[in-house]
Structure 1
Amino acid sequence: MFRGVYVASITILDENGDFDLMKMAAHIDNLINNGVDGILFLGSTGEFYSFSIEQKKKFASFAVNAVNKRVKVLIGTGSTNINEVIEMSKYSKEIGADGVTIVSPYYFGPSESAAEQYFGKIAQSVDIPIMLYNFPARTGTELSAEVVLNLAKKYHNIVSLKDTVDNISHTRKVIQKVKSIRSDFTVLSGFDEYYVLNRLSGGDGVLCALANVDPKLFVSLHKAYENKDSVTIEKCAKKISVLMNLYECTDLFVTGIKAAVKINGLDISTFTNPPGVKITEGQFDIVKKIVDEVRAIV
């Protein structure tokens, strides 16, 4: 169901921390016009952790309307409060989203049994396709291949996994186990630079933040892989390798992504909700050097 190039969209805010919906609409149009297959709103890159459920509903409704069925829409509904997850997931269904992305419980990392019960309760409570979101660096625990397999067996509306792990072996194990019994189940890499390895392992694409900065780059890589164009694959991979440095040049990586979007032509504020802090001139210069280095690769 969810295949190809998906963008973990930024949430554009003004300097007061309010949604900048005009700039957000322009950003959405740019992503779609450059050929992405879908957009995730209110994921980690979208600062889901910093908004109230009322703010999330307002923004999700705007996003679905702005996309207007041109590409697939996923809404991040993860929370430490399972009742809020269910409420937000039901709301996403009501407004016409194509699916929801739910990060595994964080702070108190659950056991495998507890994770299965958690996602199972959600799956039984909502009628919308669910993408599991495995991000152990942030949640403290990993959704094992066995947990994903068990959930895929039991619940037809659990249809996909975003695997944000710096370990392609984990992704490969999930792909091999789950697709043997659910060929329709899709696995997307949450690490931008693992697109090719994901596909070689039998996966279905990428859901990443750097596509905010250069959506055409990731779409070109996807098309090149589909067409077995090794020259273009290598060129795109080199550019992505450089862009990966954006994750390390600001206090919170989201701020660096926003700065790169700004440098590439959309005049937005780089304001990021706390714990994000204001970008410094030095950090902005580093972001610009990274973007310029990518542009120089021919």
Structure 2
Amino acid sequence: MANSTPPPAGVYVPAVLFFDENEELDIQSIKAHVLRLAQGGVTGILVQGSNGEAQHLSHDERKTTIRLTRDTLDENGFQNVLVIAGTGGQSTKETKKLCVDAKEAGASHALVLTPGVWAPQMTKERILKFHRDVADASPIPTMVYNFPTVTAGLNLDSDTIGALGEHPNIVGTKLSCADVGKLHRLTSTLPASKFATFPGSSAVYLQGLVSGSAGIIGALPNVAPKAHAELYKLWQEAKLAEAEKLQALLGHADWELQKLGSIAGIKAIVSKHFGYGNVNVRGPLTPRDLEAAGSSSTAKLEELIVVEKAL
């Protein structure tokens, strides 16, 4: 545990899963998506982030899709692309099991969502104990996943996450709250060699880098992995004017994707433009009809896809 290290800085994508018309795993489409993301230059793939419909999967399916992702990467020469597994459960016991499953299936790190069913009882002390107990038991390093939208409004502050970052097996966080102030407080408190802080939205990708983030773990790289890798490169080369221009496009496209419903929207956009996949989701989600949404609702996404295909 003392040697637990954070994932390297870069572009990470919470990959969507594809299903057939019976809501069963569409293996070929999942593999095609993993391969395009890797070819697009991502540093790692998050399996069972919120965009991966984690709560819609059985434990066996969760383990299967982690292994499928790792095997697809390895078989195609992308052994260096990491697989991070979302292991959030509604009890400490279940979350520990999911971390063990993730390790066995080939994940290098676990991203742990705070339980939200009993939100009024989740005091700071209980949140700290939950994440520490999971980290103590996990065979792989864990990261704190802060996403108030899917945890009944629970929003961990920088004091709480910072305290968790002192644990030897807790090595990072994904801030889907998109709070750059919180991100900067963490990056200026915890050393990057011990703790990786990622924004969870492409809308604040460059802003996060300016504030010391480790890159991005966001939904939009499902659509445009190359564009996100390009922005990271521009940042490293100190080409700020070019980076700011690309960031503006990412911000607009990310907003359009949110309005499309994110998960269903990603599948609709990907299946339309990249030659694989479909629009199927597991209920109670419903597919997104891009034609019904109208071309004005995807204008910036379409512009981003032109950029993506030119890279």
Task: Tell me the TM-score range normalised by the shorter chain.
Answer: over 0.9
CA spacing shift, 1:198–1:284, aligned 2, 3 Å: same
Query: CA contact under 8 A between 2:66 and 2:106: conserved in structure 1?
Result: no
CA spacing shift, 1:32–1:199, aligned 2, 3 Å: same
Pick from 233, 239, 242 the counterpart of residue 229 of structure 1: 239
Distance 1:192 1:118 in 2: 29
Residue of structure 2 in register with 1:60 after alignment: 66
CA spacing shift, 1:294–1:88, aligned 2, 3 Å: same
**Correspondences of 1:170-249 after superposition (within 5 Å):** 170-179=182-191, 183-249=193-259
**Correspondences of 1:95-174 after superposition (within 5 Å):** 95-109=105-119, 110-139=122-151, 140-153=153-166, 155-174=167-186
Q: CA deviation at 1:262?
A: 1.6
CA RMSD across the alignment:
1.9
The yes-or-no answer on 1:273 pairing with 2:282 is: yes
Distance 2:27 2:302 in 1: 28
Letter matched to residue 274 of structure 2: G
Query: CA contact under 8 A between 1:255 and 1:270: conserved in structure 2?
Result: yes
Query: CA contact under 8 A between 1:103 and 1:135: conserved in structure 2?
Result: yes
Pick from 285, 292, 297 the counterpart of residue 282 of structure 1: 292
Q: CA deviation at 1:248?
A: 3.5
Pick from 24, 39, 50 the counterpart of residue 44 of structure 1: 50
The yes-or-no answer on 1:20 pairing with 2:30 is: no
Distance 2:169 2:181 in 1: 25
1:64-99 Cα offsets, whole Å, 9 max, x none, are 211222301101111113222111111111232111
CA spacing shift, 1:27–1:151, aligned 2, 3 Å: same
Query: CA contact under 8 A between 2:178 and 2:199: conserved in structure 1?
Result: no
**TM-score relative to the length of structure 1:** 0.92
Distance 1:243 1:167 in 2: 19
Distance 2:232 2:61 in 1: 34
Q: CA deviation at 1:146?
A: 1.6
CA spacing shift, 1:287–1:52, aligned 2, 3 Å: farther
Q: Unpaired runs of 5+ in structure 2?
A: 1-5
Which shifted more, 211-220 or 285-294?
285-294
Query: CA contact under 8 A between 1:10 and 1:45: conserved in structure 2?
Result: yes
Structure 1 residue ranges, 4+ long, deviating more than 6 angstroms after superposition: none
Query: CA contact under 8 A between 2:89 and 2:95: conserved in structure 1?
Result: yes
CA spacing shift, 1:273–1:256, aligned 2, 3 Å: same
Query: CA contact under 8 A between 1:192 and 1:206: conserved in structure 2?
Result: yes
Identity of counterpart residues, as a percentage? 25
The yes-or-no answer on 1:255 pairing with 2:280 is: no
CA spacing shift, 1:193–1:44, aligned 2, 3 Å: same
Distance 1:75 1:295 in 2: 27
Q: Secondary structure at 1:149's aligned position in 2? A: helix
